[in-house]
Structure 1
């Protein structure tokens, strides 16, 4: 991908799973947190309040054999114990990586994790 994408649609061009996953996450977060900011960069679409707490990225841009079209990464203070995560790392906050092959995988459990992470990230005020 040349340059930085202009917007979310540009970032997920040709990736309907990624775009629909973004829409589900964005709508759910907006319903409870009116101060979530979406930032699009070359490598990810990030969700922030006072700090970043979640991001969507496309593993096929970085890995030869990506198992999923999009990954949802969620940053929390505490480790979330779930077999649904492909990987959990602890570089600072706990970073939980969920491979998404179908936007329906962003279900109530995942949305609960996202809302908790957004609460931890604090408001802008």
Structure 2
């Protein structure tokens, strides 16, 4: 039996992070970094923002939806190996060949060169670039 697909939010990230301006600010910094990589599709559901190429590679979610937390946003990146990294709070071996790395982001400034490198590795492992972002209004890579 196929799993049900999560319904996309018509209001996009602004709806997902409504009432949580710190989370929205971090999301915007992440989106900028993903846009710079190019070729990713963005999908917003009631629980997260997901970026994918051939498969999903990065997920942004607000931990306060699920547990008591003061962290505005968590970035989860899927890699084909476990990576030991000072910024990674937790690693879960979510399926054969996939390790999910969770990074807490306290503010937009936390989307730095180290986080961008994690995104780059995850995007490369997710397959080739689609050539342009599927998010309307996103800049073309290199623009």
TM-score by length of 2: 0.77
Quick one: distance in 1 between partners of 2:23 and 2:60?
A: 8
Quick one: distance in 2 between partners of 1:38 and 1:32?
A: 13
Q: Secondary structure at the match of 2:94?
A: coil
> Aligned pair 1:74/2:97, yes or no?
no
Across the two proteins, how many residue pairs are aligned to each other?
121
Residue 83 of structure 1: how far off its partner (Å): 2.5
42-51 or 77-86, which moves further after superposition?
77-86
Determine if contact 1:46/1:55 at 8 Å carries over to the other structure: yes
Unaligned runs of 5+ in 2: 1-6, 132-143
Q: Secondary structure at the match of 1:26?
A: helix
Quick one: distance in 1 between partners of 2:59 and 2:37?
A: 18
| Higher Cα radius of gyration | 2
> Aligned pair 1:56/2:57, yes or no?
no
Query: Considering only aligned residues, what root-mean-square deviation do their CA atoms show, in Å?
Result: 1.7
Q: Secondary structure at the match of 1:117?
A: helix
> Aligned pair 1:5/2:9, yes or no?
yes
Q: Pick from 88, 92, 108: which aligns with 1:103?
A: 108
TM-score by length of 1: 0.88
The equivalent of 1:116 in structure 2 is: 121
77-86 or 44-53, which moves further after superposition?
77-86
Residue 4 of structure 1: how far off its partner (Å): 5.7
- More helix per residue: 1
